[in-house]
Amino acid sequence: MIDKQSPIPIYHQLEEYIKQLIENGILKPDEAIPSEREYSEQYQISRMTVRQALNNLVNDGYLYRQKGRGTFVNKQKVEQKLQGLTSFTEDMKERGMVPSSRLISFEIIPAEPQLARKLDIKENTPVYEIKRVRMADNLPMALETSYLPANLVKGLTEEIINKSLYQHIEEKLSLTISEATQQIEASIAKDTEVSHLQVESGSPVLLIVRTSFLQDGTTFELVKSAYRADRYKFVHTMQRAAK
Amino acid sequence: MIDKQSPIPIYHQLEEYIKQLIENGILKPDEAIPSEREYSEQYQISRMTVRQALNNLVNDGYLYRQKGRGTFVNKQKVEQKLQGLTSFTEDMKERGMVPSSRLISFEIIPAEPQLARKLDIKENTPVYEIKRVRMADNLPMALETSYLPANLVKGLTEEIINKSLYQHIEEKLSLTISEATQQIEASIAKDTEVSHLQVESGSPVLLIVRTSFLQDGTTFELVKSAYRADRYKFVHTMQRAAK
DNA sequence: TGGATTTAGATGTCTATACCAGTTAAAACA
DNA sequence: TGTTTTAACTGGTATAGACATCTAAATCCA
């Protein structure tokens, strides 16, 4: 399980190992995991190294400690799942639904002033505009429009979009989204939303505007979505900041 | 600065000290702080102890490290402000508005099954129910109903509520909310909401249900709010979880 | 039996040391 | 002068041990 010769740090190996046991349900919530000294003896590693692994897992919310008692498995929180959320696809899968989508339009347009400001690029810079109806279990869930600076994601095709845009971005272009800001508000469905989402006029929708950033701070994408209020609820967990 | 005889752990003292320097602007963003070895020598403490302090500050987002270069002060992110958000009052102040509220009703009721489940208490346990219209710059912003288990916050009075419920909870009862989950959805204003929020019937509202937890995991409060969609937008930053 | 005390074992704090791996700038070299 | 090497930093990983503090079970005693 633990390979001391590996270039991967020991604490990280132990971390991944324990994380696996939790995610596979072998270690159950509120169950005590072996003590630090047990890990230390079993794998012949120092107790401080074990602590480093456990501390990371505590920080990530997988474990919690009780002085004098032991270290325990945390309940799988919705939060952990949602924090990693980047795409509609991931979100729906988390909710146990099958995501799909129908492309409405796909073109390259010059960024008008407002969009340019939001994407932090110059006016009229080419931008991909992708409009899609997002579905869950084959029912319309949201109408989504994405804007991506063309210079960041060259050679985008309909095929890639229909397959998995995010997979392409992460694996082929090896770009990683590190942070995102969301603005969420309520509204009444507009005409295009009424028709694409198949709701009655006057129906409420949840508008979510997400701006995603890369590690270096580059603005990567702007996504405007209108969700059917009767089908979608946004769930979100937050920790109180230290004073 | 560092008192080795103090019952307060050394790493914690150093942590608070550095945090102060950052919050008071003495250490500026992207500025390097002294190296681990410097702290170690200056205060005659072990480097591992210094690392424990710095690690905590990195985890809390105050610092970031660069291998081979040093440890630097982070920019104060909006996220950090929003993460600490717990109450309507704090939220409005962040937005530069003056919060106020009008009490509609205040009573102790037995928890019905659904509420009991959400608060994680037994059925018919006494619960405070507080209904208020929340205002920003004297304009109705939201209709809010709070539920708090009576045994957790004994002796609540109208006066306390009108003054500052959260201040009372944190300072008098010394309870700290460590985590909260929010569910956000869009809807159409109901009759009571129409009248209290002074909107037309058919107007959209943003429904937010917040459940707050104490450090030990106790469910502390359930707050249901209906915000005027034309005045309120929920903003939220998230980091991508590590894979 | 029931309450106080002991004890074993858990996490928490801290030390002192060692070596590794990036980064940078000065020193040596061509 | 311009390039390369080197040395002196930085944080990252890992060890082995000490003592503190808290918890719960075992033990003892009235």
A212 to chain B, closest Cα gap in Å:
10
Distances (CA, A) of B226 to A188, B51, B55, B85, B87: 15, 45, 40, 17, 14
Query: Does B7 score more than 50 pLDDT?
Result: yes
Residue with the bigger pLDDT between A151 and B16: it is B16
What beta strand segments (E) does A56-117 contain? 63-66, 70-73, 99-110
Kindly report the bases of strand D lying within 7 A of a protein C-beta atom: 9-18, 21-24
What pLDDT score was predicted for residue A215? 62
User: Looking at residue B86, what is its pLDDT?
Assistant: 67
Write the pLDDT tens digit of every residue in B101-151.
999 999 999 999 999 999 988 889 999 999 999 999 999 999 999 999 988
| Closest residue to B241, CB basis, from A78, A83, A181 | A83
Q: How far is B33 from chain A (nearest CA, A)?
A: 21
pLDDT of amino acid B243: 32
Chain B, residues 43-102, CB within 8 A of chain A, namely: 48, 59-60, 78-86
Q: Which pLDDT does position A166 carry in this prediction?
A: 76
pLDDT reported for residue B239 = 62
State the Cα–Cα distance between residues A212 and A218, nearest whole angstrom: 9
pLDDT in tens, A108-143: 999 999 999 999 899 999 999 999 999 999 999 999
Q: What pLDDT sits at residue B109?
A: 95
pLDDT for the residue numbered B85: 61
Here the tokens at position A80 are 């952990």
ipTM of the prediction: 0.62
Greater pLDDT, B188 or A23: B188
> CA–CA distance from B172 to each of B131, B147, B163, B176 (Å)?
22, 19, 13, 11
Q: What's the confidence (pLDDT) of residue B84?
A: 54
Tokens 């099958």 -> residue: A98
Would you say A34 and A42 are in contact if contact means Cβ atoms under 8 Å apart? yes
* Model pLDDT, residue B240: 55
DSSP-assigned beta bridge partners for residue A222: A147, A211
Percent of chain B with pLDDT over 90: 62
**What does the pLDDT look like over B191-227, one tens digit per residue?**
999 999 999 999 999 999 999 887 667 888 999 999 9
Measured distance CA(A48)–CA(A241) in Å, rounded: 27
Q: What pLDDT score was predicted for residue B83?
A: 53
Q: B74 or A143: which carries more pLDDT confidence?
A: A143
Residue B154's pLDDT is: 77
CB proximity list for A103: less than 8 A, separation 6 or greater: A130, A131, A132, A158, A161, A162
**Residues in chain A where the model's pLDDT stays below 70:** 76-86, 170-172, 174, 176, 178, 215-216, 239-243
How far does B178 lie from chain A, in Å, by closest CA?
5
Q: Which nucleotide in the DNA or RNA is closest to residue A4, CA to C1'? A: D14
CA-to-C1' span, A69 to C2 (A)? 25
* DSSP letter string, A41-61: HHTT--HHHHHHHHHHHHHTT
B59, pLDDT greater than 60: yes
pLDDT at B79 over 70: no
Domains of chain B, earliest start first: 10-75 (1.10.10.10), 80-228 (3.40.1410.10)
Q: Which amino acid is at B191?
A: D
Q: What is the spatial distance between Cα A60 and Cα B238, in angstroms, rounded to a whole number?
A: 14
**What's the average model confidence in pLDDT over B157-175?**
73
Judged by a CB distance cut-off of 8 A, whether residue B220 touches chain A is no
> Over pLDDT 70: what percentage of chain B?
89
pLDDT of residue B93: 85
Q: What is the 3-state secondary structure (H, E, C) of A140-173?
A: EEEEEEEEEECCCCCCCCHHHHHHHHHHHHHHHC
Cβ-Cβ contacts under 8 Å, B241 against chain A: 60, 80, 83-84
